[in-house]
A = this chain, B = another copy of it.
Amino acid sequence: MNSFGRLFRISIFGESHGQTVGIIIDGCPAGIEIKPDDFTADIERRKSGAAGTTPRKEEDIPEIISGVFNDKSTGAPITILFRNNNTRSADYDAIRVTPRPGHADFVLHKKFDGFNDYRGGGHSSGRLTLCLVAAGVIAKKVLNGIDINASLIEAGGDTNIDAAIATAVEKQDSIGGIVECSIKGLPVGLGEPFFDSVESAIAHIAFSIPAIKGIEFGSGFAATKMTGSENNDAILDEKGTTKTNHAGGINGGITNGNPLVFRLAVKPASSTPQEQQTYNTQTQKVEAFTVKGRHDLCIALRVPVVAEAAAATALADLYLIHSK
């Protein structure tokens, strides 16, 4: 489904090579200041341009067409459009017969009986994350007073990111990475167990970001190697401040007032310049294959702002539910 959230609800639409991608944000409280400039910083962070990112350039100017009046949210749905200007659809003709390994070409063709817009991944393109970033800007405003910060802490297995990128460019092969996000200033009590734990909500939306294949909270997989007495966080005061933060700010699926910490595993982009093998449905043979289109060698570079946006969106929803 293309909607997420219960009270702070987002719906996205559009295709990589259509005329427009966009988002509706429904349930945003009235009276929040929203100006086009508010989106600039986060949109810039998501843009390509650094070594290791795609040469496709888009202006990515947000066009707010509903829900904002006199620079304030009205309580009605906020709709934001982004035009696609820089599309080269001819690059994608081949994928109808040679589905790209790692991509959704094969499954989308099967799922939608061949009617999907295959150009550039269509609706499943990473371009849609631009809409998430816009939602994140507003979600951060709803979560007034939090401090949220995500960054790429490892790329291609190397904590020296620059070196990792340089190697990827040299080898002309895509690489993955790990993004860590930390959120301070959240109130105690967000999360609606049994099924809508904070981890459930954040993981749900995080796994909608293309290329994410893992998520862990606090010590995560490392906690499996600790004992209970090592992993438990001693409570130090009436606010619930803990001595350590192995829990990543969450107990029983509910925020405990300590920093919420999670990490995302970003796989290497499937569109590597290296030659690969795939099945050609026309010749009915496995064939060598090189992807066309303009792609990122290290998409993980562009993920931190998207991870922030996803987490903020999930948390804004839980915040409104908890404040009821």
Contacts and interface: CB of A to CB of B under 8 A. Distances in A.
A88 interface: no
Given A203-B215, A253-B207, A188 B107 contact: yes
A14 B79 contact: yes
Given A14-B65, A115-B69, A213 B223 contact: yes
Given A195-B3, A195-B208, A233-B102, A77 B271 contact: no
Contact of A104 (B102, B248, B254, B268): B254
B234 A277 contact: yes
A124 B253 contact: yes
Contacts of A201: 204
A60 interface: no
A321 B324 contact: yes
Contacts of A246: 267
A320 B7 CA distance: 11
B66 A18 contact: yes
A173 B230 CA distance: 9
A213 B248 contact: yes
Given A65-B19, A224-B267, A235-B278, A194 B12 contact: yes
Interface string A282-306: 0010100000000000001000000
B101 A66 contact: no
A320 B19 CA distance: 29
A200 interface: yes
Contacts of A266: 224
Contacts of A191: 107
Contact of A173 (B176, B228, B238): B228
Contacts of A157: 224-225
A154 B200 CA distance: 23
A21 B321 CA distance: 25
B223 A13 contact: no
B107 A252 contact: yes
A269 interface: yes
Interface residues of A, number: 147
A76 B122 contact: yes
A4 B46 CA distance: 32
A185 interface: no
A116 B324 CA distance: 17
Given A240-B110, A252-B103, A2 B30 contact: no
Interface of A: 1-4, 6-7, 9, 11-15, 18-22, 24, 26-27, 29-31, 65-67, 69, 72-79, 99, 101-104, 106-108, 110-113, 115-117, 121-124, 128, 154-157, 168, 171, 173-178, 188-189, 191-197, 199-201, 203-208, 210, 212-221, 223-238, 240, 242-243, 246-248, 251-256, 265-272, 274-279, 281, 284, 286, 300, 320-324
Given A76-B117, A168-B227, 15 more contacts: A6-B7, A11-B11, A14-B65, A14-B66, A20-B65, A31-B115, A76-B123, A103-B252, A110-B240, A173-B228, A197-B208, A214-B221, A232-B270, A236-B286, A238-B284
